[in-house]
Copies of this chain bind each other. A is one copy, B any other.
């Protein structure tokens, strides 16, 4: 299925600053980039940054003397995914987890799994099947945390959310990640474009490492899991911010879109459909 995504960002800089942006779709077998364009006004030096062990495609922009700045990214992506029988997914004990997944077991800035350990075992310890365990976590978050725009700040962490019980997609993802890690399931942050998300914005959800695959979960239930375009992965939002600013630049406007390419047919697979069909969705094949 082909999706057209776009991100239009406007910044204002007080003095020469550096921006590290994370808006590019990742490359992978599951995400073939058919075409892609980045436009920056005025014309500024742009550099691509990659980091060993990460698929994120950061770009670095130097504002130089420019006071105002506009960055537009557009791409057409052919998205692919695998469906796996949920019932057949096997537990992979910590004793068999690959080294590369190891870091996703450790606590991070917004996912203090070390402090959520007893709670996680009390609530979900009895569920043995790993996929069911994560689904129970997703249900619990959906049932107990209310999606309230503006209720949290960039400092809000999973430890806050588990008690305060309000948040936005980023907070839902952080709590999901923290609870999974507390239960020894590697979990990572996922940010990306989401088809039919209302209102359109960059979305955040999370992935768990089950049976040597990264399966995608969304505790907000707002996104079609088969219509996500992956932009950033990381331990948490600290690793996948749309923009990290060094110097003094402020975002004046941000517009995100994600549409179906004309003629494409789409059959939504959200949380409800996956459950009904008894399948799990792997969107990082080849990554």
Each complex incorporates copies of this chain amounting to: 4
| Interfacial residues of chain A within 109-126, with CB under 8 A of chain B in the complex | 109, 112, 114-116, 118-119, 122
| Interfacial residues of chain A within 195-227, with CB under 8 A of chain B in the complex | none
Q: Is the CB of A99 within 8 A of B50?
A: yes
Q: Give chain B residues whose Cβ lies under 8 Å from the Cβ of A235.
A: 108
Residue in contact with A163 in the complex, picked from B98, B146, B162, B239, CB distance below 8 Å = B162
| Interfacial residues of chain A within 225-260, with CB under 8 A of chain B in the complex | 235, 238-239, 244, 246
| A interface residues, how many (CB within 8 angstroms) | 49
Q: Give chain B residues whose Cβ lies under 8 Å from the Cβ of A94.
A: 18, 20, 60, 246
Task: For the complex formed, measure the closest distance between the CB of A264 and the CB atoms of chain B, giving whole angstroms.
Answer: 34
Residue in contact with A18 in the complex, picked from B60, B93, B122, CB distance below 8 Å = B93
Chain A 57-74, CB-CB to B under 8 Å as 1, else 0, gives: 010101000000000000
Q: Give chain B residues whose Cβ lies under 8 Å from the Cβ of A103.
A: 51, 54, 239
Q: Give chain B residues whose Cβ lies under 8 Å from the Cβ of A159.
A: 163
Q: Which of A50, A95, A107, A118 has the most CB of B within 10 A?
A: A95
